[in-house]
Structure 1
Amino acid sequence: MKKIKVLAVCGFGVGTSLLLKMNIEAVLKKNNIQGAVENVDVTTAASINTDIIFTSKELYNQLKNNVKVPLVQIDNFMDKNEIETKGLPVINELIV
């Protein structure tokens, strides 16, 4: 199984993206998926080589024209179920 690289993106790459990172890591672990998760700011995100990006509704629109990898829009960074429901179908396609 391929190890994926995941970005958790917020405006400044510190607070909320760290919470999102921890919850993505929990979802990956729960589903036995190997992945490296990094939290970054929105400006840096477009220049990092990654497999998938998780971000907010506000930043999704800012990123969608600047990246070539799948973007997953998360409304509640604390909701592991939302992260799993929206993210797993995309991740499963990447690790095949």
Structure 2
Amino acid sequence: MKILVCCGSGLGSSFMIEMNIKKVLKELNFDAEVDHSDLSSAAGIKADVYVGTRDIASQMTSLGDVISLNNMIDMGELKDKLTEYLNKKGLL
């Protein structure tokens, strides 16, 4: 499974969310490839699910499944939404 985190510039915020996703996945004992990108490059990167903050999430829906975060530093929200997605896909 591949998770791609997107932000406007592909630098700070997407990298921070990528690190937090890796922490959550470790807690869940779930192995996945996690990477980050800027929004414009994301269209050329195949992933199973795309993660971004709510301000850009609507721009990613044409790419595939999207997890929209209200607060990019809220680890509880991130864990809840990742767990919900993985359960919905029958992966957890």
TM-score, normalised on structure 2? Answer: 0.90
Find out whether 1:55 has 2:52 as its counterpart.
Answer: yes
Q: Judge conservation of contact 1:8–1:53 (CA < 8 Å) in 2.
A: yes
Structure 1 runs (4+) deviating above 2 angstroms are none
1:71 to 45, 56, 66: 66
The answer to whether structure 1 residue 31 and structure 2 residue 28 are counterparts is yes
Relative contact order (C-alpha < 8 Å, sep 6+): which is higher?
1
Unaligned 5+ segments in structure 1 are none
Out of 68, 80, 86, the residue aligned to residue 81 of structure 2 is: 86
Q: After superposition, give the CA deviation of every residue in 1:49-89 in whole Å (9 maximum; x if it has no partner).
A: 1111110111111111x21x210001211111101111212
Using structure 1 for the length normalisation, give the TM-score: 0.87
CA root-mean-square deviation: 1.3
Following TM superposition, by how much is the alpha carbon of 1:94 offset from its aligned partner in structure 2, in angstroms? Answer: 5.7
Counterpart Cα distance in 1 of 2:84 and 2:71: 18
Aligned residues: 91
Deviates more, 1:29-38 or 1:43-52: 43-52
Whole-Å separation in 2 of the counterparts to 1:55 and 1:94 = 22
